[in-house]
Amino acid sequence: MPGAMAAPAAMEPVEPQSLKKLSFKSLKRALDLFSPAHGHSTPPDPESKKIRISYKVHAEYGSVMDLSIEQAQDRGGAGAQGKGDLVSTSTALALPGIQDSRNSQKEGSQSAIVTAPTMQPKGPEPGIPSRNTGAVVSIPGSSERYQSTSALMERIPSRWPRPTWHPPWKNYRVISGHLGWVRSIAFDPSNSWFCTGSADRTIKIWDVASGKLKLTLTGHIEQIRGLAVSQRHTYLFSAGDDKQVKCWDLEQNKVIRSYHGHLSGVYCLALHPSLDILLTGGRDSVCRVWDIRTKAMIFALSGHDNTVCSVFARPTDPQVVTGSHDTTIKFWDLAAGKSMLTLTHHKKSVRAMAFHPKEQTFTSASADNIKKFGLPRGEFLHNMLSQQKTIINSMAVNEDGVLATAGDNGSLWFWDWKSGHNFQQAQTIVQPGSLDSEACIYALSYDISGSRLVTCEADKTIKMWKEDPTATPETHPLNFKPPKEFRRY
């Protein structure tokens, strides 16, 4: 029985040791073998300390020391009087600890330089930096020796463009008339009227100069999220959550065409500047391209993974640019109906984009940042220099380079386009009787001249803004600090 009990004990498997454990064991053996006193600190070495001091002195005063040696060599054949003068001028620069190295360099020469026993504190020598004042007398060829000293570093001016001064904007008119959230806006090319679409399912046309209501159009059965006015025809286009895209004839004030094809609500709408083409994007993740006259769908630009919530068109490639809740921006080839490029710089939904009327650039807005891109290649230029820290529903830019962005919290920020500087932060005020949570701007647009800005808000009002004519650079100075770093993403 004892023998039978011992056999299973002998068969127990040995616990396998991990590679890490074996490595540490091997490392400890190597340390014990080659450095038995590895637990103690290394004794100081006076010779290495002397070499380090000599190297430091050479780094600080090398150029001046070399200069005195060259003078000594040039005057090697001179009399004792000349040598005495040289010694007297060079003793202030000679330090104990470097004499041995200097003598080894001049082995075989008959003249030697005598060192001073101790350097007494005195005024700064020519060409030697004063550590207290930071003042420097320049030494030829020695600028690269002092790059590590912050007091001596050359101050490089910022390459960031200085912003142009713009007067602040102020609210001068509040228009009431809609019975629901005002979700969209578009201006007439003649700049005499503008139209707004609302959650009360109506489109209202207002006079720009007086702000009075001119006309109300009904026909949609859900809120109207997109509006556009044609520059070549007397047509108004509207799109809404009811999946419908309508073409209104403003001579007859009625719907003459409907474009069917979207599978869900339509969130954005744009007209091509030179072709009779309409672009719509919606919750079905597709941007659809329509022929205005025949009502036929030319392309369904599919590729986004989520709602297409912003779109604009331009006359040359890329003719269509879309932004989506999937955080990407896509450039589209309108001839082939395919994606040309996808920009993945944003981390949140790209709810708004604005194309500059003069430059080949555009901005895109997300909850993380407002970014500026170049066209046609889509290269990232820079971020705007501040963060609005809210969902940005809409943005617009005028020819003067003033970018306006509207936030979900009622913030209206104004930016200088060139530099990305935020020069004004306005806050909308809800009309009496509304909740504070209804301080939200859903859409905004400049008029054709760029001198007036109209915002559409959740308190059912339309607010008009203009520049303050009394403001000057003295009363409203430019408080601009260039960024310390240039972010590439």
The count of C-alpha atoms lying within 13 angstroms of the C-alpha of 284, restricted to the half-sphere facing its C-beta, is 18
Q: Which residue has the higher pLDDT, 16 or 270?
A: 270
- Look at residue 48 in the predicted model and tell me its pLDDT: 74
Q: How does residue 238 score in pLDDT terms, banded at 50, 70 and 90? A: very high
| Digit-coded pLDDT (tens) for 277-333 | 999 999 999 999 999 999 999 999 999 999 999 999 999 999 999 999 999 999 999
What letter represents residue 298's amino acid?
Answer: I
- Look at residue 98 in the predicted model and tell me its pLDDT: 44
- Look at residue 25 in the predicted model and tell me its pLDDT: 74
Residue 253 in contact with residue 295, Cβ under 8 Å?
A: no
- Look at residue 83 in the predicted model and tell me its pLDDT: 43
Q: How does residue 488 score in pLDDT terms, banded at 50, 70 and 90? A: low
Average pLDDT, the chain: 82
- Look at residue 160 in the predicted model and tell me its pLDDT: 85
Residue 320 in contact with residue 304, Cβ under 8 Å?
A: no
- Look at residue 109 in the predicted model and tell me its pLDDT: 42
Q: Which residue has the higher pLDDT, 132 or 155?
A: 155
- Look at residue 483 in the predicted model and tell me its pLDDT: 83
Helix (H, G, I), strand (E, B) or coil at 236: strand
Q: How does residue 23 score in pLDDT terms, banded at 50, 70 and 90? A: confident
| Digit-coded pLDDT (tens) for 108-122 | 444 444 444 444 444
Segment 372-387 shows an average pLDDT of: 94
- Look at residue 133 in the predicted model and tell me its pLDDT: 43
Residue 174 in contact with residue 461, Cβ under 8 Å?
A: yes
Q: How does residue 65 score in pLDDT terms, banded at 50, 70 and 90? A: low
Burial class (CB in 10 A: 0-12, 13-18, 19+), 107: exposed
Please report the DSSP string for 151-194 in residue order: GGS--PPP-SPPPPP-PPEEEEEEEE--SS-EEEEEE-TTSSEE
- Look at residue 233 in the predicted model and tell me its pLDDT: 95
- Look at residue 124 in the predicted model and tell me its pLDDT: 44
Strand partners, 72: none
Q: Does 186 have pLDDT greater than 70?
A: yes
Q: How does residue 74 score in pLDDT terms, banded at 50, 70 and 90? A: low
- Look at residue 482 in the predicted model and tell me its pLDDT: 85
Q: Does 52 have pLDDT greater than 70?
A: yes
Q: Does 168 have pLDDT greater than 60?
A: yes
Strand partners, 452: 466
Q: Does 84 have pLDDT greater than 80?
A: no
Sheet strand arrangement including 286-291: 266-271, 277-282, 286-291, 297-302
**C-alpha separations of 474 from 23, 400, 425, 470 in Å:** 72, 20, 19, 11
Q: Does 7 have pLDDT greater than 50?
A: no
Segment 382-407 shows an average pLDDT of: 95
Q: Does 243 have pLDDT greater than 80?
A: yes
Q: How does residue 86 score in pLDDT terms, banded at 50, 70 and 90? A: very low
Q: Does 159 have pLDDT greater than 70?
A: yes
Sheet strand arrangement including 245-249: 224-229, 235-240, 245-249, 254-259
Segment 85-101 shows an average pLDDT of: 43
Sheet strand arrangement including 329-333: 308-313, 320-324, 329-333, 338-343
Q: Does 382 have pLDDT greater than 60?
A: yes
- Look at residue 21 in the predicted model and tell me its pLDDT: 74
Q: Does 45 have pLDDT greater than 80?
A: no
Residue 432 in contact with residue 396, Cβ under 8 Å?
A: no
Identify the residue whose tokens are 């001068």: 172
- Look at residue 111 in the predicted model and tell me its pLDDT: 41
Helix (H, G, I), strand (E, B) or coil at 92: coil
Strand partners, 424: 414
- In terms of C-beta distances under 8 Å and separation of at least 24 residues, what long-range contacts does 190-197 make, across chains too? 190/448, 191/447, 191/448, 191/449, 194/445, 194/447, 194/454, 195/227, 195/229, 195/236, 196/227, 196/456, 196/462, 197/223, 197/224, 197/225, 197/226, 197/227, 197/238, 197/240
Least confident of 1-5, 41-45, 347-351: 1-5
- Look at residue 82 in the predicted model and tell me its pLDDT: 44
Segment 174-182 shows an average pLDDT of: 96
Q: Does 34 have pLDDT greater than 70?
A: no
Least confident of 37-51, 157-171, 193-207, 334-348: 37-51
* CA distance from start to end of the chain: 77
